[in-house]
Amino acid sequence: MTAHPNRSNYRYFKVSPRGFANEVTCYRVPLDKIAECDAEYATYEDDNEGGHAGWTLDKVARQPGVAIDWADRNY
């Protein structure tokens, strides 16, 4: 990724444990942690019936207070 001013240094990952729209957790993942995030959620959909997880381009995820920092995900 380049240092273009309109490009983010983060990507956003959305997890829904049961598939409901109102039960979504968004993570703000630094570019260098993308592989770690992919590995952690590689079998999520297989292990959780009805749940889904994946990268999102939702503008809502970028708003302050919506996404959890990847480093804070276990708190």
Give the span between the Cα atoms of 34 and 5, in whole angstroms.
20
| Bridge partner list, 30 | 10
Question: Does residue 5 belong to any structural domain of this protein?
Answer: no
Our count of domains for the chain comes to: 1
Question: Does residue 45 belong to any structural domain of this protein?
Answer: yes
Question: Does residue 3 belong to any structural domain of this protein?
Answer: no
Query: Chain centroid to CA 64: how far?
Result: 14
Question: Does residue 1 belong to any structural domain of this protein?
Answer: no
Question: Does residue 16 belong to any structural domain of this protein?
Answer: yes
pTM: 0.84
Question: Does residue 4 belong to any structural domain of this protein?
Answer: no
For residue range 17-68, list pLDDT tens digits in order: 887 878 899 999 999 999 999 999 999 989 988 899 999 999 999 999 999 9
| Bridge partner list, 29 | 11
> Alpha helices, DSSP H only, in the chain?
34-40, 44-47
Q: Which domain holds residue 14?
A: 10-72
**pLDDT above 90: residue 5:** no
Give the span between the Cα atoms of 44 and 39, in whole angstroms.
10
